[in-house]
Amino acid sequence: MGLADIFDTRLIKLNLESTDKAAVFEELSRTIAAVKPELNQGTMLAILHDREGKMNTSVAPGVAVPHGYFPGLNRIIGAVGFSLKGIEYSAPDHKPVHLVFMLLLGEGERKEHLHVLNQILTFVKFGALSYIRDAGTPQQAYDMLCRVG
């Protein structure tokens, strides 16, 4: 499974309005629920906040990967959000997050979860922040994701 299988253009927001972690969870989970109405937004939020309460999901300077296991889901679904102004995320480096990869994982996807995280981290290592920031459309951002995974 590659990043192209997890994200699609309808789940990429290049202009997040949120300025803090809770608000970005709300904004991206609302985006997912609009595309995948079978996924309850309240359940998504509870899962994400529970996981975040255990350990901050900021994975690199300016990048976070909030994620959690969604009951009954049999695959991985993700949304991408970018904020030029930055999001207060309580990151270990105390700097704002600009790029968020939100993942909802099926219970049977535990092995695949690590593979996907590795792909995201590879993308981050090779300039994801710049690529997504410079993308003019969700399609351009998606095309860049496809090149990585």
Whether this model's pTM surpasses 0.85: yes
CATH architecture of the domain with residue range 3-148: 3-Layer(aba) Sandwich (3.40)
Which residues, listed in sequence order, are joined to residue 80 by a DSSP beta bridge? 12, 101
Q: How far is residue 55 CA from its own chain's centroid?
A: 16
Q: Domain residue spans in the chain?
A: 3-148
Q: Is the pLDDT of residue 73 over 80?
A: yes
**Confidence bin at 118 (pLDDT 50/70/90):** confident
- The span from the CA of 14 to the CA of 39, in Å, is 22
Interacting residues of 67 by C-beta distance below 8 A, sequence separation 6+? 48, 51, 57, 102, 103, 104, 105, 113
| Mean of the per-residue pLDDT values of the chain | 90
Mean pLDDT confidence for 106-134: 82
